[in-house]
Amino acid sequence: MRPHRRAFLKTATAPAALGAFATPGPAQALSGYKPGDTYDVAVIGAGVFGSWTAHHLRQAGKKVLLIDEYGASNSRASSGGESRIIRMGYGGDEIYTRSSKRALELWKQFFERTGNPLFHQSGVLWLARENDSRVSKNTETLARVGVKFEKLSQTDLKKRFPQINFSSVEWGVYEPESGALMARRAVEAVVHDFIHGGGHFLPEPVLAPARAARGSSITTRSGEKISAGAFVFACGPWLPKVFPDLLGNRIFPTRQEIFFFGVPPGDRRWTPPAMPAWIDVELYGIPDLENRGFKIADDRHGPPFDPDSTDRIITREQVAGMRHRLGQLFPALQDAPLVESRVCQYENSSNGDFLVDIHPEMKNVWLVGAGSGHGFKHGPALGEYVAAQVLGTGGKPEPRYSLATKSTVQSRSVF
C-alpha cells in the first residue's frame, strides 16, 4: 500500500464487560500497557483469531500487546454475536475437520480451567436432501478423523426430532459431541485470561504500517509509536481497509442477518437435549440457549458491507421472509415472535479458506483473517497455528492459508 493511503484500523475506545479494563482511564494501567514499551509481538484485533493468537503467544512466554479500538468481541466485530455453532463436519475438507476437533478440545480445556461454562453440547444435526454430496462426504471424513457421529434415516429423524418437518429431508448426520459456543462471552473470557496472565491491552486506534517502516513499528492515531519484533493483523472485516492495495479485492465483507424467535413458554422441544444445533443446505440454527430465543440464519453471502458505517437494521420484510422459512422446517414456530435480531458480517476469502501469511513487503507483519462465516469455532486451533508460525516453531506453512491462493473473484468452496 502507498504510504499516503494509510488506513485507520478500528481498535478500542471503551472496552466493556471485562473487569480488567472496564473504563478508558484505568484500562491501560490495569492491562499492563506502558507507553514506550517494546514487545515481542503486537496483535491488532481482539476477535477470536487475534485474542487466541495473543493468548498462545503469551503462554509461550512472550511479551504481547493486544490492540482493539472497539473492544474485545464488540458489537461490530464478526466475533461479537451471541452464539456460534461448533461442528466437525466439513464435507471432504479434512483440514478443517481436524482443526475444529482440535479447537473443541482447547475450548473445553479453557472453559474448565477458567470456570466459564460457555460451551453447550447440544449436538449438531446435518439435514441431507436429495443428492447432497456434502453431507455424504461428512460421514467419510468424520470416520477417517475419528469423530463420533450417527447416520440417521428419515424414519430415525422423525422419531428422534418430531418437532422438525422432514418431508423433503432424506437422511441426516448427527454429531453428538458438537454444539454451540457463547461467542461474545467466550472471546471476552479469553482476553480477560490473557490480561490476567500478563498480557497487555491497548484501547486505541492504530495506523496501518507503512512500507518504509519495514514492520519495525506502528503508530497510534494520537501519534504514539509501538515497537515490536512482529505484528499480527487479525482484523476481520477491517483487513481490506487496513491493507487496501493488497487485500481490498481479496477479502469480501458481506452483510448477514441473524434472527432469534421466541419459543412457547414451557415448551422444551426447542432447547437441548431435545433440540440440537442444525444445518440445512443454506440455513442453519441454534436451539434456545440461555433463554435467548431460537436462532436461525441464512448462510448465503449477503451484499457488500462496511463494518464501520453501515446501519445494522433488519426490515419487516426480512423478518417475514425468515419466519416463513422457519415455519416450513419447524411448523410449530410459524407464528413465533421475533425477540431479537442482529446484522453482522462475514469476511471471506475468494473460496472460504483462511488467510495466514506474511506481508510480501514487511517480513515481520502477519496477515490473519478471512475467518467467517465458518471461522469462529476454530479460534483456539487457528491461534495456536498462527503463534507457532510467528515463533518459527510451526513447521511448514499450510499452503491453503497462503496469500497467493486468494483470488479476486469469489468462488466459495468451503462451507
The model's pLDDT over 317-335, given as tens digits with 9 standing for 90+, comes to 999 999 999 999 999 999 9
> Residue 122's CB: how many other CB atoms inside 10 A?
23
Dihedral sign, Cα of residue 360, residue 77, residue 349, residue 105: positive
- For 216, the grid coordinates are 519495525
55-70 as b/e: b if 16+ CB within 10 A: bbbbbeebbbbbbbbb
Q: Are 15 and 22 in contact, with CB atoms under 8 Å apart? A: yes
Backbone phi, psi, residue 281, to 5°: 55, -100
Looking from the CA of 140 toward its CB, the CA atoms found within 13 Å total 9
Full set of structural domains in the chain with CATH: 3-78+184-251+351-405 (3.50.50.60), 109-179+256-344 (3.30.9.10)
Whole-number pLDDT of residue 211: 60
Mean pLDDT, rounded, for 187-194: 96
Residue 316's contacts (CB-CB under 8 Å, 6 or more residues apart) are none
Whole-number pLDDT of residue 390: 98
Mean pLDDT, rounded, for 295-314: 93
Strands 225-233 and 38-44: parallel
Instruction: Name the band, by pLDDT with cuts 50, 70 and 90, for residue 8.
Output: very low
Mean pLDDT, rounded, for 171-182: 98
CA distances from 296 to 175, 246, 315 (A): 19, 35, 16
3-state SS, residue 339: strand
Whole-number pLDDT of residue 2: 30
Q: Of 16-20, 46-50, 115-119, 121-125, where does mean pLDDT reach its minimum?
A: 16-20
pLDDT above 70: residue 24? no
Distance separating alpha carbons of residues 337 and 207, to the nearest angstrom:
44
Beta bridge partners of 284: 279, 297
Tell me the pTM.
0.91
Task: Give the model confidence (pLDDT) of 235-274 as tens digits.
Answer: 999 999 999 999 999 999 999 999 999 999 999 999 999 9
Task: Give the model confidence (pLDDT) of 344-389 as tens digits.
Answer: 999 999 999 999 999 999 999 999 999 988 999 999 999 999 999 9
